[in-house]
Structure 1
Amino acid sequence: MRSFSFSSIPNLEDLSISSFSTSPSGESRSYGTGYSRGPVCMEKVHMHLIDPEASILLKEIAELMILAGHAPNICRDYGETRHHMLMQFLSLLGVQIEQKSHNNPAAATANGACSMQLYEKNQKMWIQALRVVVSIVLPEERDACAQIFGCDHKVEEDCFARATTRCTGELLAVGSMMASVKVNDQQYHKVPLLLQMHEEFTKLEPSISGLLSGDAKGVISEQASMLLGKLGETASNLLLEFLNVCSNLEPCQNTMLDGDILPLTRHVMGFVEQLNEYSDTINLILLLVVDEEEEDKEITKSPWERYMLMLLARLQVKVEEKAESYKDERLRYIFLMNNAMHVLKGSGSSDLSMSVWDDWNRQQLVVRVERYATAYLRASWTGALFQLSDQVVPSDHMRYETNWVKKEL
């Protein structure tokens, strides 16, 4: 058995770092410690899990043993030997390390949760391992079985199933376990990572099923279905949890009353832009409860669009609650305008412009900004206009300015 090298697989730690925030147009978005959503460019690696020269000898031995009636023995021994070898590959890819780190109390805090940094690292390992196993390891093992046991199709299928089923099941089990792991930070920070795992596995699952057959295919298909269901259910619950966070969050009293954008507004818009990349997956997994009164008008919107509108509606309530902290009425409307403009600007970004932000919703935001601007003008100029006396004859310039202000008010 030849040694296995990962030199052609890129170092994911070199990817750019970003969080729930917007990035300049044209750049890919990433989350946390920097796992890019886009496909990682991985060179086509062709490797021989078994030395080609050894395969020739093994083929001769297999043919003799099958003719001698020892097919069950060779299937058992080959499957067990190759299983241990493929499990070593998983260890090299970080899968076993990942599992131990989640089960090791020393790697978790007192409440049993791991750090977000550790969770992201393990998520990257799992996706990378999934890509390598499905794209390289399983096809190569399939070719090896065909080369050695090609004289008997039944033996070939049995050997391949025995060698790969438990290894593949272990990989899926680790992915399912990651959906249940708690992190020290807010749990909803896991949502983009879970959605990426869901998307990645959805793309690769047909390749796994295509390589297997018979009972092995049924076992792996059942595990695959459970994994997708677990990832989808957990992500959906965390999305709904984020809605409740926005509703129940108390306005921060320590925020500077300078009219600047509320940190919650930046966070929500960054969260929305991040999740919009996974809108297709969210539409598959998200189950929202819609009021009967709103059911007719919401029937044409996707679950992701309805979720986004609900989230922004709750954000608006929190912004208005925070606005009550402003004693200066003029500064209050500046604060409201800044937050509304931040949402309006986000709605015009290339990532969201083709989503929920249709003309009607964008027009509603424009009307809201204009309403705040008018209220600011009234708060700023009404007092000054009351000081103007009817007996004073203004100059032409003053008359023009006064008429303009009255018209705006």
Structure 2
Amino acid sequence: MAVRSPGIGDLEGPIAEQEDLVHRRLEAAEEAVERWWSRAGSDAGGGGVSDSPELAAAVRELISLCSDGGSGGQRAKMALQVAMMHLEDEFRQVLISGTYFLPTDSLQASLYDNIAVPARSLSFSSFPNLEALSISSFSFTATTDDSRTYCSGFTRDSVSMEKLQLYLIDPEASNLLMEIAELIFLAGHVPNICHVYSETRHNTLMQCLCLLGVQSEHAAATAEDGCSMQLDSHKVKLWIQGLKIFVGTILPEERRACAHIFGCNSMVEQDCFTRATTRCTQQLLAVGNAIAQAKERDYEKVPLILEMYEELATLQPSLQDLLFGDAKDVISQEASTLLGKLGEAALGLLLDFLSLQLNHDLDEKTALDGSILSLTQFVMGFTKVLSEYNGSLNIILPLEEEDAGDSKKRTSVAPWELYVLRLLSHLHLRIVEKSEFYKDERLRYIFLMNNAMYVLEHSHSSVLGISLRDNQTHEKLVLLVEEYATAYLRATWFPALFHLKGTREVFILGKGKDMMKEVKDVKEGFKNFNSAFEEISRVQTTWKVPNPQLRQHLRIIILNQVVPAYSTYVGRYSSVIHNNSVSKSKYIKYIPNDIENIVLDLFEG
């Protein structure tokens, strides 16, 4: 029996059925996508991928149908393209709306609040619009008291990160984004979602910098105009705070968000994080560069530059650990360059400061009462503040070399300690120079003693005190104070005590012309001493010795010299004065207790 080969008519049935099945599958998948998109865009809100299993099934169906070589395959590709467009748009909207900043009246206050979204039930389209959150009300209020001087106290501003909890992307939104990303990955549309994520997050992170007060126009203006921005202390503090928050909180949070959303593909995770954060990080460093290039010579800003230096040096390793690939190398190089520029800026100001040619009101006329020169107060306060940065200063300041015959060798003293010693040496010369304005030699020594004592008193603090003691400068200052106190005593009280002299031998030998001459000399001695003592007490009561210990010490050494000498003179020669109460009171106007009481009132100012 012959076997008949199947004809074309026999194959039309199965092919038609197969095409019809593909057609129905395509229509079902398209309808599922359309239903989801309609629900997602409705006012009532829709569901996420997990709430709409048919969406995930529809996308997988379209992916499967794309492999069909016929017209069904082309139609499936077009339908999948439409579905991806919807998902990418929804991904973008969730990414924008899922970013939540709690608006507050003060950025500083917000650092101590928990910045986090409240528990909510979220779907792809249920997030509030970002603009409705009034981000513009997120402002910064801080005191910018540039008139504050270091001698009155200076504290290093610090930002505590312990209580800062910032969700850059809402956790539930992050879950929804992960679901969308998985479907888009499945469809092979990786480049599209990377572009959407990186551009959206870049804009958001730039907005974060603005909220932190790190304005991009500063760096842009510097680049365009070829000039440096002003070293505004408020902007510097904002930059320091912004660096801490951006590197310490925002970048780690962004990396965690990328890991969660794109965890199924590590290459995409790294690429999205890099593209989203690189330009923002460069912008932060660019603003720092603009600050570092400020040319003004405001020495009070040196601690701010050093604070920038230390914070960047501290956070640089964390920054390197967060980044990937080429971006890691680029950012690391830019951070190192900025660190070098900050060090150079600080070094330039510190070396200029050594000359103490300050554009400041510190060079006013010397105080009339012999008190502390404001230059001395400023320098010691400034040095005390700088001592808090001694670790960084030992890196920034150059190592000194000393001659050792034909060769040079490094000194064993740290650069910061050498700098302090040189600064104090220059300060001493300026104080001596200022003392020449005094016409009264006695007041000149009071002035020198007061300023030396102030330097001694303020050299006990922290690292500064240790360095001075190690270099025997502390002992030198003590001897200097004593030297000036002795010089004052000689210039003031020795001439007065010179009048209290006489020889008792004349009175032992008997009467005569010599006796009468000695009586006259004794009376003249009392008279001259009284006159000198009255001039001293009248003038020097207005002079000032601010340090209470020094003031008491000075009074004691005066009393130790004056009271015994006066008491002895009165005891020896009071009988020489004619035994008449009127005559005695004319010459012996003070008893030793009177002398003591008057001396104890001196130097109060």
2:492 to 356, 361, 380: 380
Distance 1:136 1:364 in 2: 50
Is 2:111 aligned against 1:9?
yes
Counterpart in the other structure of 1:26: none
Quote the Cα distance in structure 2 between the aligned partners of 1:258 and 1:131. 48
- Counterpart in 1 of 2:398? 287
Contact residue 195 and residue 281 of structure 1 kept, 8 A? yes
User: Structure 1, residues 278-323: CA drift from partner, whole Å, max 9, x if none?
Assistant: 1111111112554537998971211110000000100111111111
* 2:252 pairs with 1:139: yes
How has the CA–CA distance of structure 1 residues 374 and 52 changed in structure 2, closer, same or farther, with 3 Å as cutoff? closer
CA contact (8 A) 1:251 1:321 kept: no
CA contact (8 A) 1:98 1:122 kept: no
The aligned counterpart of 1:322 is 434
The worse-fitting range, judged by mean Cα deviation, of 320-329 and 254-263 is 254-263
Contact 1:95 1:174 in 2 (8 A): yes
The one-character-per-residue Cα deviations of 1:27-77 (angstroms, maximum 9, x if unpaired) are: xx32xxxxx34x323453333323334333332332233333332332233
Equivalent in the alignment of 1:339: 451
- Which 5+ residue runs of structure 2 have no aligned equivalent? 1-95, 105-109, 113-139, 506-521, 523-562, 570-605
Residue aligning to 1:20: 150
| Range with greater deviation from structure 2 (84-93 or 379-388) | 379-388
Match of 2:345 in 1: 234
SS of 1:355's equivalent in the other structure is helix
Residue number among 190, 198, 222 corresponding to 1:79 in the alignment: 198
Task: State yes or no: 1:177 paired with 2:290.
Answer: yes
**Post-superposition shift, 1:91?**
1.2
The Cα of 1:231 is off from its aligned counterpart by 0.6
Distance 2:141 2:416 in 1: 30
The equivalences for 1:351-390 within 5 A come to: 352-358=464-470, 360-390=472-502
Counterpart of 1:309 in structure 2 is 421
Residues in 2 aligned to 1:189 and 1:207: alpha-carbon distance in whole angstroms: 30
The CA deviation at 1:156 is: 0.6
Whether 2:211 is the aligned partner of 1:92: answer yes
1:136 CA drift (Å): 2.0
Q: Which residue number corresponds to residue 261 of structure 2? A: 148
Q: What percent identity do the matched residue pairs reach? A: 50
Q: Is residue 69 of structure 1 aligned with residue 164 of structure 2?
A: no
Give the direction of change, closer, same or farther, for the CA distance of 1:270–1:81 in structure 2 (3 Å limit).
Answer: same
Deviation, 1:165, is 0.9
CA–CA distance in 1 between the matches of 2:437 and 2:464? 31
Q: CA 1:80–1:112 in structure 2 vs 1: closer, same or farther (change >3 Å)?
A: closer
What are the equivalent positions in structure 2 for 1:272-283 lying under 5 Å apart?
272-283=383-394
TM norm structure 2: 0.57
Quick one: distance in 2 between partners of 1:77 and 1:328?
80
Distance 1:148 1:251, change over 3 A: closer
Tell me the residue number matched to 2:237: 124
Instruction: Tell me the residue number matched to 1:188.
Output: 299
Shift in Å at residue 150 of structure 1?
A: 0.7
- Give secondary structure in 1 for the equivalent of 2:467: coil
TM-score of the pair, normalised by structure 1: 0.82
**Counterpart amino acid of residue 56 in structure 1:** N
User: What do you get for the CA RMSD once the two structures are aligned?
Assistant: 3.4
The whole-number CA distance in structure 2 between the counterparts of 1:70 and 1:58 is: 15
Q: Aligned partners of 1:350 and 1:401: how far apart in 2?
A: 48
Question: Aligned in 2, Cα 1:283/1:228: closer, same or farther, shift over 3 Å?
Answer: same
1:355 and 1:12 mapped to 2: Cα distance? 39
Which residue identity does 2:150 align to in structure 1? Answer: F
Matched, 1:168 2:281: yes
Aligned 8 A contact 1:179 1:194 in 2: yes
- Structure 1 residue 192, shift from structure 2 partner: 0.4
The 3-state SS of whatever aligns with 1:292 is strand
Q: Secondary structure at the match of 1:89?
A: helix
Paired residue secondary structure (1:347): coil
> C-alpha distance in 2, partners of 1:282/1:401?
59
Cα deviations across residues 219-243 of structure 1 (Å, max 9, x unaligned)? 1111110111111111011100101
Residue 250 of structure 1 and its aligned partner are, at CA, apart by 12
- Which protein, 1 or 2, shows the higher relative CO under an 8 Å CA cutoff with sep ≥ 6? 1
d(CA) in 2 for partners of 1:137, 1:6: 17
- Number of residue-to-residue matches in the alignment: 381
CA separation in 1, counterparts of 2:191 and 2:278?
Answer: 17
Which residue, out of 373, 381, 391, partners 1:270?
381
Provide the rounded CA distance (Å) in 1 between the counterparts of 2:404 and 2:437.
33
Distance 1:391 1:173, change over 3 A: same
CA deviations on 1:166-210 (whole Å, 9 max, x unpaired) are: 111111111111111244xx4222210000011111222222111
1:247 and 1:314 in contact (8 A); partners too: no
Please say which of residues 165-174 and 358-367 is displaced more in the overlay: 358-367
Q: Which AA in structure 1 matches 2:249?
A: I
CA distance in 1 between counterparts of 2:428 and 2:166 reads: 56
CA contact (8 A) 1:246 1:314 kept: no
